[in-house]
Amino acid sequence: MTPQADTSDGDLAAQAAAGDERAFTGLMRRHKGALYRFVRRYVGESDEAYDLVQETFTSAWGALKRYDRNRPFAAWLRTIALNKCRDWSRRRGLRSWLVRSERLDGSSGLELPDLGRSPEDQTSDRQEMQRLDNAIAALPGGLKEPLILTVFEGLDQVETGKVLNMSAKAVEVRVYRAKKALAAALSIAD
């Protein structure tokens, strides 16, 4: 029996927590697209995003008994994904530092194309999107996270504040700073 489309996330989560793998599969199907887009914007790399989404769902499966049904499942899942992205950023930063240290020592999208547009225009658009993705991925986490959650995920400042454990005003300020940093990064690259 497959989960019904009208079954709530909370009910599916309760069924999954009781061991119903089909219920969890239903949750994954519902949320994988949005979760992938969120993670992809954070890390800026497709392959890494797929891996992090898988890690997120694996962690969610193990933590289902702690899920609070009064809270939106998508927000709970994004919080897990956000922690995975932060871990990825730390590991990446450490690897980058190690590579730079080694050198100092002297050793060693998912979108369908618009068929009405020319291939040159499509290529240009993809390049611009890649520049934007790279600029977003390069933002510090404290700016990147509120930006992605509000601008790309459509959460309001209060919801974003709950996910990030900060006030709505702090979210507003950080989104403003993130947009300003993006504008500067993208104008420098021109």
Question: Radius of gyration (Cα) for the chain, nearest Å?
Answer: 19
Is residue 171 exposed (0-12), middle (13-18) or buried (19+ Cβ within 10 Å)?
buried
Q: Which tens digits make up the pLDDT trace of 93-123?
A: 544 444 444 444 444 433 444 445 455 655 6
| pLDDT for residue 77 | 93
d(CA 66, CA 58): 14
Q: Residue 27: what residue type?
A: L
Give the residue-averaged pLDDT of 81-96. Answer: 74
Average pLDDT of 74-82? 91
Residue type, 123: T
Asked if pLDDT for residue 56 goes beyond 90, the answer is yes
Backbone angles phi, psi at 46, to 5 degrees: -60, -50
CA distance 39 to 44: 8
Mean pLDDT of the chain: 80
Please write the tens of the pLDDT for every residue from 121-140: 556 667 777 788 888 888 88
- Burial level of 174, CB count in 10 A (0-12/13-18/19+)? buried
All domains in the chain, ordered by first residue: 7-102 (1.10.1740.10), 121-190 (1.10.10.10)
- In order of 7, 60, 95, 96, 97, the CA distances from 102 in angstroms are 54, 37, 10, 10, 9
